[in-house]
């Protein structure tokens, strides 16, 4: 039984590492987008009429949602690991 739990724990730890990597990438993306939103420099002209600020705001919300989802998954995986390793 402990052999199976070790395999499951190992797989969950691998999954947690992947989620941590995804979290780090999302956090860097969020920082970049929010930095651009917070700067007072005017947005450059685009080839097509685009509201660049609105695009950055929308992207900021999307990344925030992805970050929250990733954090929830990380917490769930960590709880599963703790439950397995208690035995």
pLDDT of 1 strictly over 60: no
58-78 pLDDT, tens digit each: 999 999 999 999 999 999 999
Q: Is the pLDDT of residue 11 over 80?
A: yes
pLDDT digits 0-9 by tens, 20-71: 999 999 999 999 999 988 877 777 777 888 888 888 899 999 999 999 999 9
Q: What is the pLDDT of residue 49?
A: 86
pLDDT at site 4? 61
Instruction: Indicate the domain borders of the chain.
Output: 2-85
pLDDT at 6: 84
Q: How far apart are CA 19 and CA 32, in angstroms?
A: 20
**Rounded Cα distance, 33 and 28, in Å:** 9
What does the pLDDT read at residue 87? 64
For the chain, what is the radius of gyration of the CA atoms? Answer: 19
């Amino acid at each position: 039984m402990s052999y199976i739990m070790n395999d499951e724990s190992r797989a969950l730890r691998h999954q947690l590492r992947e989620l941590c990597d995804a979290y780090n990438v999302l956090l860097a993306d969020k920082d970049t987008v929010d930095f651009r939103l917070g700067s007072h420099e005017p947005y450059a002209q685009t080839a097509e009429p685009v509201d660049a600020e609105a695009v950055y705001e929308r992207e900021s919300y999307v990344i925030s949602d992805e970050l929250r989802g990733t954090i929830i998954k990380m917490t769930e995986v960590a709880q599963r690991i703790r439950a397995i390793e208690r035995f």
